[in-house]
Every structure is written in structure tokens, then in C-alpha cells.
Chains A and B, each alone.
Chain A
Amino acid sequence: MKTRSVRRTRRTLQLAGAGAAALMALGACSSSSNSKDSASGAPDAASPKLSGNVTVFAAASLKEGFTTLGKEFEKDHPGTKVSFNFGGSDTLAASITGGAPADVFAAASPKTMAIVTDKKDAAGTPATFVRNQLEIATLPGNPHKVAALKDLTASGLKVVLCDKTVPCGAAAQKALDAAGLKVTPVSYEQDVKAALNKVELKEADAAVVYETDVKSAGGKVEGVEFPESAKAINDYPIVLLKNAPNAAAARAFIALVRSAEGQKVLGEAGFLKP
């Protein structure tokens, strides 16, 4: 009697253990993929039958332009759906190398793209598709008379910069170094949109962001160009990911981004040609 119930409990435990082990094995299993080393974004008009979901991980600064292009892509290829994950390039790179299921990665700097290519998570070589220049975003009407980069060192001026780990922060640092300036911000924001938001909400007086961000904010901020920004122009690389669940549609999306049409849309958003 006693031994039987003990044995039953033990058997149950063994079964449970086996079940848990099986589940873990499943989790550890990675999706196999066709890693054909195709050049990223080779236009392939030969396959018009595209369907399914394309997941695009893109830098926060690409939000406006890419959203427009995503809608266009869905119109050109009925049956497809483009889902975007916009964020800091590093966060995106970290989640891609961590195994997030994405088809396309568009980063705001070659350095953040390298995080993905170094881990062999990209299919082919990344291609630069646009460039972006820094600008100072100030309050509407520029009450603090910010006219140049050195004005950001004024005491009492609340400046926000991007954290040095994100591309806009690295670029701002480069521009400041080129000008030989040292700016002490009130905050190092986690991505460029967060930095812009602080000025939009009038919590900060100025932020070093991209030209595209100033454009996207409409009249909520005023842009101030500065010559040192030429020393820190960011290249934006785009690449097809190795474990892309929907590689065919992903290639077509990259092709659209790099096409004349895509360049036009991104140019309207304030990006420079590669």
C-alpha cells in the first residue's frame, strides 16, 4: 500500500521531469532558415506573389518615413502586412541577437548594425540607404537665442542629449568633440524620440537630435542647424536578417526602401541621400 503510492508519486515526478525537459528542448530549438547569401535588397520583380507578415526592426528616427513606405508596400502587395518595431538601434540590435523574430533591420549607425553582423545574424552585407544630419531642437520661437552649438554650454540652459550608447548620442558627442565643446546635459535619453519629446513638452530648452526629428515634430520645436553636424553625419544601413521568417517579402521591402520612390519618401522626411 505504502510503497505503491510512493512509487506512483515517483513515477509522476519522472513524467513531469521528462515533460519539462521536452519543453526546454523545444525552446532551445532554433528555427532553421535558408541562409542564401543574397545581396540585401536586390530588387526581384520576378516574384510578385508575396504574402504574410514582414517584421521590420527600425531605428526610432525612421518612424515617419518607414510608416509611409509600409503602407505603400501593403498597397503594392495585397495580402502582405508590414509590422514595425521602432526603438533605439542598440535595443533592437540586442533583441535581434537575442533571437527576436525579425525580417529586416534598419539601424541608425554602422556601429549598431555591426552588433548584428558580428553575431552572424544578417544575411548578406548591409547597405547604406539614407544619411541623417544632426540639428538642435529648441523651443518654438527660440526664446533662448540658440544659434550655434556653443550656445548649449550656457549655464541655466536645460539641454538633453541622447545616451552615448545610441547613435544620436554618439553622433552628438562626435560633433561636440569636433567643436572642442563640453556640454553637461540634464539627461542622457534612451533614444532620439525621447530626447525630442522633452523639448516638445517644454521640459528641456534644447536637444541635439536629427534633422528628420525636427521635421517630424512639426511646429512643436524649432530647428537650428550648426556647421559641426557635417562632421557627424550618420549612415543608416539596412539588412535582411538570416533567420527571417518571410525573406521574400523582406527583400521586396528593402528594395522599395532603396528604390527612387523610397528615397523620395525618406527625402521628404528630411533624410539625405546615401
Chain B
Amino acid sequence: MTSLLEPGAATGPRTGRPRRRRVGAGGRRGVPLPLLLPGLLALAFLLLPLLALLVRAPWHSLPEQLSSTEVWQALQLSLVSATAATAVSLVLGVPLAWLLARTQFPGRGFVRALVTLPLVLPPVVGGVALLLALGRNGVIGRWLDAWFGITLPFTTAGVVLAEAFVAMPFLVISVEGTLRAADPRYEEAATTLGASRFTAFRRVTLPLIAPGIAAGAVLAWARALGEFGATITFAGNFPGRTQTMPLAVYLALQNDPDAAIALSLVLLAVSIAVLAGLRDRWMTTS
């Protein structure tokens, strides 16, 4: 029996019983059943629904399903609005992440918690909140309407806002983490050599954290693409203007399941493409 206090006891993975500690083929230890079984179940649980989509897909009618103008309208709108929402998130979110990571101000932890709130908020609640704030009768929207004649609900801009609202936190959290991990001494060195703080950010920090920003942007983009609740609540549903892919899927499911499956396949393909783009981040084999 080894005690936990023995030197080296805490290093390296250990499997419960001594007789299981025999090294097997290829230097790997035997897999304990209590871990293998739930692990495989988890894998099945995550993959089976997606496989079911493929199995039940109306392959023979897929071309005509996907050639309807409504589908392309929805897909085009989805791609454009998700990209625009990502752009909005980048322009506003990266500076926010920098403020959270690099400056000291009272209540910073609280602000950080507020930023992550939309991550856990049900999207429909986000949509209602947006309506109450930016709607025609909203707290701010009322003045937008009175002064500039801008109404956001039921417009493509409204879709972009709803998507940015749920997607921006992903970007902010991701970039902030990268900034915290990045060495601040490079920026400090740049400022001592005469660069202003903004120049240092632009020429030193940004290139340094570019991979983190890219990963955060892809995450935000994927989240925006799949956004349903906030969009339908805030922007409504009008083909070509506010009907994104998830809305089209939901409404197609009502009367034409085959069309809904076909649309889902398109979204699934896009998601897989995004994952493939990120494979060096998450799908490493090492």
C-alpha cells in the first residue's frame, strides 16, 4: 500500500487497484469500466441525434428542397446577419475585453459578471429585454424613434442586434482570457520606447492576441448563426428580412418536416465546417 504522502505519489495518473496497474499494449493502461461505459454513452448521446438527421434526411428530394428561394433567402440572411453581428461584436467587444483584462477599476468583477449574463440568460428573455429597451415603445427606442425615426424591431438591423446580444459575450470572454494569458511586458516595453498606449495596443497587443480573437470571433459567429429565441422575439419573422435559418427550420417543422430536416442539414454542414476551421484548437490529437 502506498500512502498519499509518499514522494511522487501525486504525479502521473493512477488507476484504483494495484493489479490494474499493469501496463498494456502500447504502454497504455487498461480502461476502467466505470469510466468507459458512461463515456461511450455520452458519445452515443451526442452523436445519435445528428446521425438520425442524416438517416431521416429526404435525400431524394433534397435538391428541390434546397433550391426554393425561401431557403436561400433564409441562408443568405443568416450568413449576412451572423457576419454583421460578429463584426459588431469585434468592434465593441475587443475594447471591452481589453478594459476588463488590462485596467483596474472598482467593481470590475461585477462588470465581468454582467457581461457574461447573456450567456446564461434564456435567449427569449434577451429578446424581450431588447424589445423593452430598443423597441418602438422601449426605454431608449422611444427616443430613437422620436429623434431619428429609427425603429429596430422587425428589421434586419434588429436581427443583427439580437444576434450580437447573445454572441458578443463569447467573444469578450474568449479575448479577455487570451489577454490575461498574454505577457503585458511587451506592451510595457513598447510604451517605454515612446509608443502611446493605443499604438502599443494596435501594434503589439493585437498581433499578439490575434489567434484568440479569431477563435472568439468564430465562436461568436457560430452562436449568432444558431440564434433563435432572441431573434424571433425582437425582430419577428418575415422572409428575406428577418427570417433566419433557425426560424425557417422551426416554422417548416410545423407543416413540412422534410423541408425542416433539409434546412437542418445545411446548418449542420455549416457547423461542421466551422469546427473543421477550428480543429487545431479543439480537435488536436495530442
- Say yes or no: is B22 at the interface (Cβ < 8 Å to chain A): yes
**B242 CB–A CB distance under 8 Å:** yes
Interface residues on B, range: 20 to 34
Residues of A within 8 A of B135 (CB): 201-203
Shortest distance between the CB of A204 and any CB in chain B (Å): 8
Kindly supply a per-residue 1/0 record for chain A positions 9-22, scoring 1 wherever the CB is within 8 Å of any chain B CB and 0 otherwise: 10011011101100
**Residue B150 at the chain A interface, CB threshold 8 Å:** no
- On B, residues with C-beta under 8 Å from A are 22-25, 30-31, 33, 36-37, 40-41, 44, 48, 131-132, 135-137, 153-154, 232-233, 235-239, 242, 250-251, 253-255, 257
Contact of B22 with A91 in the complex, beta carbons under 8 Å:
no
- Asked, given contacts A12-B33, A166-B254, whether A23 binds B41 with beta carbons under 8 Å apart, the answer is yes
Segment at the B interface, from A60-68, A185-193, A221-229: A185-193
Give the CA-CA distance A15 to B137 in the complex, in Å.
61
Residue of A15, A16, A166, A189 touching B236 (CB-CB under 8 A)? A189
- Contact partner of A16 (CB less than 8 A), chosen from B36, B242, B251, B253, is B36
Closest beta carbon of chain A to B201's beta carbon, Å: 40
User: From residue 192 to 213 of chain A, which have CB atoms closer than 8 A to chain B?
Assistant: 194, 198, 201-204
Separation of A91 and B131 alpha carbons in the complex (Å): 24
Q: In the complex where A12-B33, A20-B41 touch, is A202 in contact with B137 (Cβ < 8 A)?
A: yes
A36 within 8 A of B: no
User: Which residues of chain B are near A53, meaning CB under 8 Å?
Assistant: none
The reply to whether A203 and B251 contact each other, CB–CB distance below 8 Å, is no
- A74 CB-CB contact with B under 8 Å: no
**Interchain CB contact (< 8 A) of B238 among A13, A17, A188, A190:** A188
Give the size of the chain A interface in residues (CB under 8 angstroms).
36
Q: How many A-B residue pairs have CB under 8 A?
A: 94
Partner of B232, one of A91, A158, A190, A204: A190
Contact with B along A155-190 (1 / 0, CB 8 A): 000101001011000000000000000000111111
Separation of A2 and B41 alpha carbons in the complex (Å): 27
CB atoms of B154 and A6 under 8 A apart:
no
A190 and B255 alpha carbons, distance in the complex (Å): 12
Closest CB-CB distance, A139 to chain B, in whole Å? 10
What are some 28 contacts across the A-B interface (CB < 8 A)?
A: A5-B24, A5-B30, A6-B25, A8-B30, A9-B30, A9-B31, A12-B31, A15-B33, A15-B37, A20-B44, A88-B254, A91-B254, A158-B154, A160-B236, A163-B237, A163-B251, A166-B254, A186-B153, A186-B154, A186-B236, A187-B236, A188-B251, A190-B232, A201-B131, A201-B137, A203-B131, A203-B135, A204-B154
